[in-house]
Structure 1
Amino acid sequence: MWETITVSQYIIQFLESKGIQWIAGVPGGTILPLYESLAASNIKHVLARHEQGAGFIAQGIARSTGEVSAVFVSSGPGVANLITAVADAQRDSVPMLVFSGQVPTHLKGTDAFQELDTERIVSSMVKKIYSIEDPNLIPSVLREAYNIASEGKKGPVWIDLPKDIQTETILNLPNLLMESEGHIPDSNEELIPFERETSTTLDLFLSEWKEYLAKAKFPLFYIGGGAKKEYKRLRKLIQYYQIPAVTTLMGLGIFEKNDPLNLGMMGMHGTIGANEALGVCDLLIAIGVRFDDRAIGNKELFCPNANIIHIDIDANEIGKIRKPNLSLKKDISEVINFLFINPFENSNDMEKEIIGKNDQMQIGVWKSIPEIHPAKELIQTFASLIPNGEHFVITDVGQHQMWVAQYYPFKEPNSWITSGGQGTMGFGLPTSIGVSLANSNKQVYCFTGDGSIMMNLQELATLREQNLNVKIILMNNGHLGLVKQQQDLFYGNVYSGSKFYYHPDFSILSAAFGIPYLIWEKDGNDYELETLIGKPGPAFVEIKIPPDWGVYPFVPGGKSNQDYILDLAKT
């Protein structure tokens, strides 16, 4: 006779079978059956102080490992509080399984205590949501949900569980935990519509790829976060062709900062060289990118003289913003080895180069433009004091994020984690907790601002409770810095809503959470900083920043990437 098992027990066994070791969450009445089963598991639970914090902790686990993570919340306000973290995960393609409690099935639709229409509210920000009404569907739902979250363009999948469904019994068939449903199609796996593609096979794509390269006088690689897992081979690819590259914010670290062919970050706060190269290139090779507005500026003025080749795993991104001349819907891992082709193999001119000497000289000029900003020396000095060894750099969102992006010497892309598509303040601290949970042997450095740190400040208690190797670096200028900067430039220095007239004493605040604190003044107490960040466990470092420091270059919204403001006088 077959053994029976509750739905909540089956869910926990499934998560165990997938190797999930940590679950972040905040319990409540409608999800307590699942928590009861979790208590009997080897999976460790981290109790966040807010559901948004729980969501970002789960993100930190997933972003740093590349594997699916899980988060548990209760119904109503638990769901509502989690939404920001899930929306952030969706935009940056972070694989997560979200389990929310729901009122019992007989109360659904009655405006019961802590009821929300979860399916309707979150459907636009997840790859798929399941509202469970039949307990016997749980085995197939879990397998499908896990595959959807982890296949193709990754992202969050949500499972809404009425309280009574969690306690229902189903047949316990252990072999089902390991069975595969095979390939599960979704919207990301559709073929590119005919009018948005120029090639349908890899052979035809490669043939046209060679033709475009052979004709190009100034080709340029445009590389984003969707390609970072292939950073080692991408580094070889640009060397093979001697073609320069620009990267998005999410693609930082794919190329080494001092590589002569790396022109750096493009876009709103990108380097002069990167943005100028976009204006003159005649062939743009885009890999793992979305052509988002912060990267390309005015889409009508972006790369006006260039043919565009676009390779991406998501068919929906190809042609969404700019129609390519040649496209391929593929994971870059499947095709990158085929891209090493000599486009001049039939030419008698054995000395022919893709990039002409004049263009190489221009690249050298762009690369030699000095980056003059006091934040550069600050960031690089801090980086020089970090103990040797692998580590992660996480940022919140604001001026500090852009300074780190511009000046930190990232050695590889997987150590760099930030909120890209949503730009979510409050991201840094809880995400750092998740990163550290999943990578206990590595130090985590979280750069934040005085606006961002206050948005999930409560997670300092979680950090202390877990005693993690997370060092918080607060760059405090007393303002919402990027807001103030735009008010400086475009709103007549009217600082409406951008200045903080009161802040807590962060030294006392850190002490209240039991976290060692230091205020750092560059060249004044570097030894104390080096000592503090070299110790295990959490620490809080505060750096006072003048409020008139800006982030430059700066491309105003709606302008071309070449129409940047370079107002170093204001820094």
Structure 2
Amino acid sequence: MPNEITVSQCIIQFLEFKGIQSIAGVPGGTILPLYECLAASNIKHVLARHEQGAGFIAQGMARSSGNVGVVFVSSGPGVANLITAIADADRDSIPLLIFSGQVPLSLKGTDAFQELDTESIVKTLVKKVYSIEDPNRIPMVLNEAYDLALEGKKGPVWIDLPKDIQTKLISVPDLFCAHQESIGSINPIIQWYPDGDHNQTQTLENFCFEFTHLVKNSKFPLLYVGGGARKECKQLREFVKRTQIPAVTTLMGLGIFEKDDPMNLGMMGMHGTIAANEALGLCDLLIAIGVRFDDRAIGNKDTFCPNANIIHIDITANEIGKIKQPDLSLQIDISVLLPYLLEDKLIDEIRKAGCKNEESFSQMEKWKQIPEIHPAKDLILSLATTISNHDHFILTDVGQHQMWVAQYYPFSKPSQWITSGGQGTMGFGLPASIGVSLANPNVPVYCFTGDGSIMMNLQELATLREQNLNVKIILLNNRHLGLVKQQQDLFYGNVYSGSEFHFHPNFSMLSESFGISYLLWEKDQNNEMLESLFNSEGPAIVEIKIPSDWGVYPFVPGGKSNQEYILDLVNT
């Protein structure tokens, strides 16, 4: 058995040990040594048609599995093309490992062919970037980078590899160090604010005492739950059921609570429900869990929850107090805290205090009864009925279709819902769906997109067909950039500058050219054909033509409070 292996062999062996089954990428000259070793591996390589697509494919694998997604790209334009997908992963806390080729060490800094200063360019978009100049560092870097991607608030980690470094020989490393076996060995992050008590049990008991005191003395407490709490869906549902504290969720928190739960007021924010946004204005205690007080969620930060004390629980210290200063806070993995919040003694104390503001709860019920009359609701619900009840994933691109799905689709669990949240990246849906399907080959994947978004990574239809994945693309075609047009309707005097497409692809012919099944569908027509297509194996595109004057309502204009929503264009 050889005592030495190359850096590239070390990387591939490490990824095999970590259970990586698929890698998305686009090769080029500076990363070919790594690709040579990948060819001898059992790891599947998915050849994307663009590096941005590769990044989103890796994201889809990571978002749907909870594991690290891996992407390989070459130097220069390969790095530059990947940046959008990595910025998106960073904002939504998606664990990725990125391996990029780089010019040989002797050429670095000379403006060599396809050279970029990768470290300087990407350092603000990732948790850490490693520029490898000493080949003997690679075993340590691999272990550290993998753990870092999964530690605390998850995110992307970048390893930049000069071409000559990839072929250097190093001693066969012990990749299987016990202390580096898994992220589970890392202690949960716990920090008490403001007293700084470092005893874990005492810290949690102190926090729960203060938490209970604030809840008991509030008249209208409200949970504000986001994507950072998705994995604790079961316990959060139990907490709400037992305490009868109502909840609102962010876009990324959809599915944490069942849609028909009477305590679930729905999505808050720019396109949130009336009940959710009005409740935020009335509550006197806001319990924020796994959220970052994003502007699309809270509207005007100065008028957000004007009458409320705030409890903020998050895994990242930097998020606490960044936008809104809390009255009580805890930096912790919510999975560690929830068992304490569910203790019978704490629940009994909260329930004994009971609801002291029947008027607010009565008003809440009235808000929930306001009818949501919109043709998009009927369309989304009709499609949801056609989609089988068994496990499936719903993805979206970014635009009006995304908001309609968020508003109306009956998600049964948060893991079912995948979208680009913090960056709001058009072009996300198609390649991310490929990644989801690769990681979950037996689960149907449905991707809602628009005629604007689909064109931004259209080339990945070739990747989809090549992999022959069970992804059904639902294309809502209004021949416009819909959200742009809607804002031009509302605020720019109907001046449609740059929002209308004057050339319209024939998506039927386009689908045929990629060898993908196609159906033009109208609501309540060709339902048997739609159901048959959805139940078929392999990819398909369903095009639905909709009017360009459909808007997304309610709509809270930027800079306004959540209670200053517009219900329709007529009443602006």
Following the alignment from structure 2 to structure 1, what is the Cα–Cα distance between the partners of residues 106 and 549?
A: 58
Per-residue CA shift, 1:156-194, capped at 9, x if unaligned? 0000000000000001134546652999999x9695775
- Pair 1:479-2:493 in alignment: no
Following the alignment from structure 1 to structure 2, what is the Cα–Cα distance between the partners of residues 38 and 223?
A: 41
Residue 255 of structure 1 corresponds to which residue in structure 2?
257
Following the alignment from structure 2 to structure 1, what is the Cα–Cα distance between the partners of residues 102 and 349?
A: 66
Following the alignment from structure 2 to structure 1, what is the Cα–Cα distance between the partners of residues 308 and 48?
A: 48
Q: CA deviation at 1:403?
A: 0.2
Residue 169 of structure 1 corresponds to which residue in structure 2?
169
Per-residue CA shift, 1:362-419, capped at 9, x if unaligned? 2211211111100000000001001231000000000000000000000000010000
User: Which range is displaced more, 441-450 or 521-530?
Assistant: 521-530
CA distance change for structure 1 residues 434 and 179 in 2, over 3 Å: closer, same or farther?
A: same
1:146-161 matches, within 5 Å, as 146-161=146-161
Following the alignment from structure 1 to structure 2, what is the Cα–Cα distance between the partners of residues 346 and 57?
A: 47
Residue 135 of structure 2 corresponds to which residue in structure 1?
135
Write the letter of the residue equivalent to 2:35. Answer: Y
1:411-490 matches, within 5 Å, as 411-490=412-491
TM-score by length of 2: 0.96
* 3-state DSSP of counterpart to 2:302: helix
Residue 216 of structure 2 corresponds to which residue in structure 1?
214
Residue 265 of structure 1 corresponds to which residue in structure 2?
267
Aligned length: 568
Write the letter of the residue equivalent to 2:166. Answer: Q
User: Which range is displaced more, 336-345 or 443-452?
Assistant: 336-345
- Check conservation: 2:292, 2:319, Cα contact below 8 A: yes
Write the letter of the residue equivalent to 1:149. Answer: A
Per-residue CA shift, 1:428-460, capped at 9, x if unaligned? 000000000000000000000000000000000
Following the alignment from structure 1 to structure 2, what is the Cα–Cα distance between the partners of residues 510 and 83?
A: 28
Residue 503 of structure 1 corresponds to which residue in structure 2?
504
- Check conservation: 2:93, 2:153, Cα contact below 8 A: yes
1:176-325 matches, within 5 Å, as 176=176, 180=180, 194=194, 201-325=203-327
Q: CA deviation at 1:3?
A: 1.1
- Pair 1:401-2:412 in alignment: no
* 3-state DSSP of counterpart to 2:61: helix
Following the alignment from structure 1 to structure 2, what is the Cα–Cα distance between the partners of residues 305 and 410?
A: 31
CA distance change for structure 1 residues 293 and 192 in 2, over 3 Å: closer, same or farther?
A: farther
Following the alignment from structure 1 to structure 2, what is the Cα–Cα distance between the partners of residues 198 and 326?
A: 16
Q: What residue ranges of structure 1 are gaps of 5+ in the alignment?
A: none
CA distance change for structure 1 residues 183 and 235 in 2, over 3 Å: closer, same or farther?
A: closer
* 3-state DSSP of counterpart to 2:31: helix
Q: CA deviation at 1:202?
A: 1.4
- Check conservation: 2:192, 2:329, Cα contact below 8 A: no
Following the alignment from structure 1 to structure 2, what is the Cα–Cα distance between the partners of residues 355 and 396?
A: 43
Residue 359 of structure 1 corresponds to which residue in structure 2?
360
Following the alignment from structure 1 to structure 2, what is the Cα–Cα distance between the partners of residues 488 and 254?
A: 34
Following the alignment from structure 1 to structure 2, what is the Cα–Cα distance between the partners of residues 238 and 198?
A: 29
CA distance change for structure 1 residues 274 and 558 in 2, over 3 Å: closer, same or farther?
A: same
CA distance change for structure 1 residues 546 and 196 in 2, over 3 Å: closer, same or farther?
A: farther
Write the letter of the residue equivalent to 2:130. Answer: Y
Write the letter of the residue equivalent to 1:272. Answer: I
Following the alignment from structure 1 to structure 2, what is the Cα–Cα distance between the partners of residues 447 and 487?
A: 24
Residue 96 of structure 1 corresponds to which residue in structure 2?
96
Residue 87 of structure 1 corresponds to which residue in structure 2?
87
Q: CA deviation at 1:503?
A: 1.6
- Check conservation: 2:269, 2:299, Cα contact below 8 A: yes
CA distance change for structure 1 residues 570 and 76 in 2, over 3 Å: closer, same or farther?
A: farther
Write the letter of the residue equivalent to 2:514. Answer: F
Following the alignment from structure 2 to structure 1, what is the Cα–Cα distance between the partners of residues 294 and 349?
A: 38
Write the letter of the residue equivalent to 1:445. Answer: Y
Q: CA deviation at 1:528?
A: 0.9
Residue 563 of structure 2 corresponds to which residue in structure 1?
562
User: Which range is displaced more, 356-365 or 314-323?
Assistant: 356-365
TM-score by length of 1: 0.96
* 3-state DSSP of counterpart to 2:431: helix
Q: CA deviation at 1:198?
A: 13
CA distance change for structure 1 residues 560 and 7 in 2, over 3 Å: closer, same or farther?
A: same
Q: CA deviation at 1:204?
A: 1.3
* 3-state DSSP of counterpart to 1:327: strand
Q: CA deviation at 1:360?
A: 2.7
Q: CA deviation at 1:318?
A: 0.4
* 3-state DSSP of counterpart to 2:224: strand
Write the letter of the residue equivalent to 1:219. Answer: P
Q: What residue ranges of structure 2 are gaps of 5+ in the alignment?
A: none
Q: CA deviation at 1:301?
A: 0.3
- Check conservation: 2:220, 2:283, Cα contact below 8 A: yes
Write the letter of the residue equivalent to 1:119. Answer: E
Q: CA deviation at 1:354?
A: 3.1
- Check conservation: 1:464, 1:538, Cα contact below 8 A: yes
- Check conservation: 1:198, 1:327, Cα contact below 8 A: no
Write the letter of the residue equivalent to 2:471. Answer: V
- Check conservation: 1:284, 1:306, Cα contact below 8 A: yes
Following the alignment from structure 2 to structure 1, what is the Cα–Cα distance between the partners of residues 356 and 418?
A: 33
Following the alignment from structure 1 to structure 2, what is the Cα–Cα distance between the partners of residues 520 and 183?
A: 46
- Check conservation: 2:212, 2:349, Cα contact below 8 A: no
CA distance change for structure 1 residues 487 and 137 in 2, over 3 Å: closer, same or farther?
A: same
Residue 11 of structure 1 corresponds to which residue in structure 2?
11
- Check conservation: 2:192, 2:203, Cα contact below 8 A: no
Following the alignment from structure 1 to structure 2, what is the Cα–Cα distance between the partners of residues 434 and 170?
A: 33
Following the alignment from structure 1 to structure 2, what is the Cα–Cα distance between the partners of residues 496 and 293?
A: 26
Per-residue CA shift, 1:274-297, capped at 9, x if unaligned? 000000000000000000000000
Write the letter of the residue equivalent to 1:75. Answer: S
Per-residue CA shift, 1:108-166, capped at 9, x if unaligned? 00000000000000000000000000000000000000010011000000000000000
Following the alignment from structure 2 to structure 1, what is the Cα–Cα distance between the partners of residues 569 and 253?
A: 26
- Check conservation: 1:394, 1:428, Cα contact below 8 A: yes
* 3-state DSSP of counterpart to 1:472: strand
* 3-state DSSP of counterpart to 1:496: coil
Following the alignment from structure 1 to structure 2, what is the Cα–Cα distance between the partners of residues 99 and 30?
A: 11
Q: CA deviation at 1:346?
A: 7.2
- Check conservation: 1:139, 1:176, Cα contact below 8 A: no
* 3-state DSSP of counterpart to 2:35: helix
Q: CA deviation at 1:523?
A: 1.1
Following the alignment from structure 2 to structure 1, what is the Cα–Cα distance between the partners of residues 270 and 198?
A: 30
- Check conservation: 1:549, 1:570, Cα contact below 8 A: no
